Amino acid sequence: MTPTKPTTKYFEAVGRRKTAIARVRLFAQAKNEYDINGKTLEQYFPVKEMQIVASEAITNGKPAEKFFVSVHVKGGGISAQSEAMRHGIARALIIYDAELRGKVKKLGYLKRDPRAKERRKFGLKKARKSPQWSKR
């Protein structure tokens, strides 16, 4: 069952991780609900750890209100998508209430994780792995 999206004012932000991009919208509501690409949090992230990572910014940031979170996420794997979602929610919370910035920043959710896969170089098998060397 997909929750119905409210048509009120929202706070929007973009979160990124590796090649995953999450466009997040926060709507003020009575309880926390998630809509990720038309699915609920449990349907989209079947692994419990991913659900926790995706919702960490709201649970640990402790905003005054509850939110309906609408997310459009694409690219990357599910782990990167959940972290991109957390990054986007944290950024949207700052737009909602600037007082939360210190708390969310201290938790490290505002930092865009710069680690990504290194490109492959010519003459090598992978980014740094060289072909097997034989003396004779």
The CATH number covering residue 22 comes to 3.30.230.10
Of the candidates 59, 68, 72, the one whose C-alpha atom is nearest the C-alpha of residue 20 is: 72
pLDDT of 118 over the 90 cut = yes
Angle at 130 between CA 124 and CA 132, to 5 degrees: 125
| Section 81-85 average pLDDT | 96
Range of the domain at 58: 10-107
pLDDT digits (tens, 9 = 90+) for 31-73: 889 999 999 999 999 999 999 999 999 999 888 889 999 999 9
> Model confidence at 75, in pLDDT bands (50, 70, 90)?
very high
Would 134 be classed as within a structural domain? no
Domain tally for the chain?
1
Q: Is residue 36 part of a domain?
A: yes
Q: Mean of the pLDDT values across residues 69-83?
A: 96
pTM over 0.85: yes
Is 2 within the bounds of a domain? Answer: no
Confidence of residue 5 (pLDDT cuts 50, 70, 90): low
